[in-house]
Amino acid sequence: MMTPTLTISALTRRFAGVAALTDVTFSVAPGERVALLGHNGAGKSTMMKIILGLIPATTGQLSVCGTTPGSPEARRQVAYLPENVAFHPALTGLEQIRHYLALRGQPPGGAMALLEQVGLAPAAHRRIGTYSKGMRQRVGLAQALIGAPRLLVLDEPTSGLDPVSRRDFYTLLDGLAAQGASILLSSHALTEVEARTDRILILSKGRLVAEGSLPDLRRRAALPVAITIVPRDADDPALRQALPEATPAGGALHLTCGQADKLAVLARITRLGDRIRDIEVQPPSLEDIYSHFSQRDGQ
Amino acid sequence: MNRILATALCEFRIALRNRWVAIAVVLMALFALVLSAAGSAPTGGLGVDRLSVIVASLTSLAVYLVPLLALLMSFDAIAGEVERGTLPLLLTYPVARWQVLLGKMAAHLAVLTLAVVTGYGLAAGAALLADPSAKAGLPALVRLMWSSVVLGATFLGAGYALSSLARRPSGAAGLAVGLWLALVVLYDLGLLAAIVADNGGWFTTHAFSVALLANPADAFRLFNLAASGATAAASGVGGAAATIPLWQALASLLLWPLAALALATLAFRKVTP
């Protein structure tokens, strides 16, 4: 087991007595892609700012690349993409990236290659003031790629990106992770991070309410499966008899069952044979799973 | 060092794009030319060359204009970054806050130097054209140039400090105008009022010179007038130049930028993104 790039234990942050984060503990290993999920105000951005050393923790221990958050050593190895990233509108994309390269002690000549990587090369000589939100987001992404960082902290990195750019973005992240970079990114949609992250952390009202891979979370949530049956004859009494728990609506029968009972119920349905015209099985949606975890603890 | 230089280059480019370079240079040139045209009449009776007289007039101009330009350029430095939302990202880079401030100051000082050299240079050129003996005033002109830049550094530092304290550009602008009024306009009026009320007592004999040295703008004026020996052409508070040793005015002039920069660093450190 490699030493984690990021370790957080019992982290608590209070603003004027109000707890923004309470007793949060987790770690991120090298090469791991971790998604931080939560509603607006759940504490995602606060957590990131503490990891970056922009604001101090009230209590708790943090280790970033083996050192203190915000120390020069940590800052050299950590890249950040803030939510709604902004730049000086008077600079061009190229000038801005050259500046960031210089601040990281890298040769500014690599700026164009970085912009090409995020698909901004054609706009490199235009002022950032004329960029769309998605283009600004790409500049932000380009600066986060500077100097092979060991930890990338990305706050809602895909907001403002179209679906194709999103896919390109996650492909970029895959490449970085394959080289050993740890990635912590936040989002408020589970659907988006579904297939592209190794682990999911769900934050609700400043508490870590769930942690695990998506199949893990799906199993633990144990949300019911919804089954819709379209009978040949809506008033067929044999159907009612075989499936007493189903409720009829709009010419179809609806029923739900636990994950564990799914096969047994389906077996009962298939035994009805010709009496059924169609059947549809809906597993709990990602949004259902997310709501399940993010609301459970908040009540 | 490279990080300071990179910040300075970036800030200078922004000043160029924002027309700050053009505004500062044109403003300085315009005022200097108007002054040299207006100041060309009374030279004969004073027994000094034309340029020395112009330097005395330029000193009075610089006391108002240089702090104003410096504050106008600097009030947005931190508050603007906070408002645009660019500060959190900058502070996650491996660059110290004092390096950011020094970089910004280097760029703004370059703009100020450009404006001062252009403006004073034009005025000096006009004087030399009209009166070849004006060469005698060149050392005073050079002294005025560098001391103007030093004065500018003080007010740049003060501007950064106010910008950090206010955290919003509108608030920082208000504070900057307030500081300019207080130090450049009201301070001297207050001193004069105090002298009149004191009527030759303790304040006039002891506190007055200290009060003058404590204000960077007054120290600048004292230094230039005393050093150029053009006190005869000066009036008002400038008349005190004869009574205060040159080195004291110089020390105040040189110490203030350091103090202002230290204040700015302290204030910037307190800013949480």
Question: How many Å from the N-terminal Cα to the C-terminal Cα in chain A?
Answer: 37
Among A53, A86, A103, beta carbon nearest to B84? A86
- Provide the angle, in degrees to the nearest 10, between the axes of the packed helices B97-130 and B50-74: 150
pLDDT value at B7 more than 60? yes
CA dihedral B88, B94, B97, B99 (to 10 degrees): -140
Determine the distance in angstroms separating the CA of A130 from the nearest CA of chain B, rounded to an integer. Answer: 14
Report percent pLDDT > 70 for chain A.
98
**B94 in contact with A, Cβ within 8 Å:** yes
B237 pLDDT above the threshold of 70: no
Interface membership of B199 toward A (CB under 8 Å): no
Which two structure tokens, joined as six digits, stand for B242?
Answer: 């004869």
Pairing type for strands A247-249 and A225-231 reads unpaired
Helical (H) or strand (E) element with B171:
helix B169-180
Condensed to tens digits (0 to 9), the pLDDT of residues A255-295 reads 888 888 888 888 888 888 888 888 888 888 888 888 888 87
Whether residue A111 is predicted with pLDDT greater than 90 in this model: the reply is: yes
pLDDT exceeds cutoff 50 at A230? yes
| Amino acid letter for position A102 | A
- pTM score, whole prediction: 0.87
**What's the angle, vertex CA B259, arms to CA B254 and CA B264, rounded to 5?**
130
The answer to whether the CB atoms of A72 and B17 lie below 8 A apart is no
Task: Name the closest residue on chain B to residue A96, using Cα atoms.
Answer: B10
List pLDDT tens digits, range B154-169. 999 999 999 999 989 9
Q: What is the pLDDT of residues B43-52, one digit of tens each?
A: 455 566 778 8
Mean pLDDT over A44-49 rounds to 93
Place of tokens 């740049």: B156
Q: What six digits make up the tokens of A271?
A: 């035994």
Nearest-neighbour CA in chain B from A103: distance (Å): 5
- Tell me, what's the pLDDT at A299? 42
ipTM of the complex: 0.88
Higher-confidence residue: B229 or A275?
A275
Contact (CB, 8 A) for A224 and A284: yes
Nearest to B89 among A82, A102, A105 (CB): A82
Interface test with B, best of A65, A75, A88 (most B CBs within 10 A): A88
pLDDT band, residue A152 (cuts 50/70/90): very high
pLDDT of residue B47: 60
pLDDT higher than 50, residue A298: no
Among chain A residues, the shortest Cα distance to B5 is held by A102
Report whether A213 contacts A239 (CB < 8 A).
no
Give residue A130's pLDDT: 96
- Pick from A98-102, A145-149, B100-104: least confident: A145-149
Contacts of A104 in chain B (CB under 8 A): 93-94
* Residue A53 φ/ψ region, left for φ over 0, alpha for ψ in the -120 to 50 degree band, beta for the rest: left
Q: Which of A82-91, A189-198, B215-224 has the lowest mean pLDDT?
A: A189-198
Is pLDDT above 60 for B238? Answer: no
Select from A214, A195, A192 the least CA-distant residue to A284. Answer: A214
> Which of A73-77, B38-42, B230-234 is predicted with the least confidence, judged by mean pLDDT?
B230-234
Residue A68 to residue B242: CA distance in whole angstroms: 57
d(CA A56, CA A70): 9
For residue A90, the chain B residues in CB contact (below 8 A) are 13-14, 17-18
Q: Is the CB of residue B201 less than 8 Å away from at least one CB of chain A?
A: no
Q: Is the pLDDT of residue B21 over 60?
A: yes
Determine contact: B273 vs chain A, CB below 8 A. Answer: yes
Show the tokens assigned to A9: 């234990």
pLDDT for the residue numbered B179: 96
Assess contact for B220 and B51: CB atoms under 8 A. Answer: no
Asked if A95 and B18 come within 8 Å (Cβ–Cβ), the reply is no
Residue A200, token pair as written in the block: 């999911």
Tell me which residue of A52, A48, A79 sits closest to A68, measured CA to CA: A52
Which of A222, A214, A231 lies closest to A286, judged by CA? A214
**At a CB cut-off of 8 Å and minimum separation 6, what does B125 contact?**
none
The pLDDT value given to residue B133: 80
Closest CB to A80: pick one of B5, B92, B96: B92
* Rounded mean pLDDT, A47-56: 94
Does B47 touch chain A if contact means CB atoms closer than 8 Å?
A: no
pLDDT confidence tier of residue B209, bands split at 50, 70 and 90? confident
User: What percent of chain A lies above the pLDDT cut of 90?
Assistant: 52
Q: What is the pLDDT of residue B35?
A: 83
